[in-house]
Amino acid sequence: MFERFKEAWATGDLQLIIESDMGKVIIIVLAVLLLLLALILVNKERSLEHKIKPLAYSGVAIALAMVLSQIKLFALPQGGSITLFSMFFIVVIGYFYGVRQGVLAGIVYGLLQLVFGGWVMHPVQLLLDYPLAFGALGLSGIFAGSKHGLVKGLAIGVMGRFFFHFLSGIIFFAEYTPEGWNTILYSFWYNFSYTGVEGFVTAIVLLVPSVLQAFNQIKKSAIS
């Protein structure tokens, strides 16, 4: 395991490093440490029980998001896919516990996405497409206390994720722009075609009163 990691490290190829067993272990350990950091950062005045609760909910949400992300309804050739509501479960953590907890959960989820099938061309591209893009889903916490906050949070989280993928597309994937297309417009279309569509479909489901009411009840239990 270590030999393959050393060989990959010697080449300087990030993709090979991440695909090595040791590389995956390192990223998973980092993800676990970030979750533990989330536990420490929760309001210091809370009891240990109330600190662990957000961590437990975050863990369950990340696990559900990972499982649902494997159910791809449509996949694009240079990465990105429409999944079965996988983004929503990271958005929920922000809605339940605020921006800080939501962003940390999103970063952990992004690192796990990197381990299980990430596509890496450059260190900055890695940051844009994984920790930053998925971490942005936690911006849903901005609307944690507002009316229709879950739907608003979904919108801002999806827009945040789209923005980082959009930047990555312009900077690192310009060579894939079809002939006759403008790179900026192509990156917009490419990344919106999966983040926007999945976000839109999720929002429609959330607008069903019984679904929204159910998640509001879960929120009461999560923060009680």
Q: Any idea what the Cα angle at residue 116 is, between residues 36 and 39, rounded to 5°?
A: 10
Q: For residues 218 and 224, what is the distance between their CA atoms, to the nearest angstrom?
A: 10
Q: Which residue has the higher pLDDT, 49 or 121?
A: 121
> pLDDT digit string (tens) for 147-163?
888 999 999 999 999 99
Tokens 């983040």 belong to 195
Domain boundaries, the chain: 2-223
- Which CATH topology does 2-223 take? Arp2/3 complex 21 kDa subunit ARPC3 (1.10.1760)
For residues 82, 87, 77, 188, the Cα torsion angle rounded to the nearest 10 degrees is 90
Name residues whose C-beta falls within 8 Å of residue 219's C-beta, 6 or more positions apart in sequence.
95, 96
Entry pTM:
0.86
114-151 residue pLDDT tens: 888 778 888 899 999 999 999 999 999 999 878 888 99
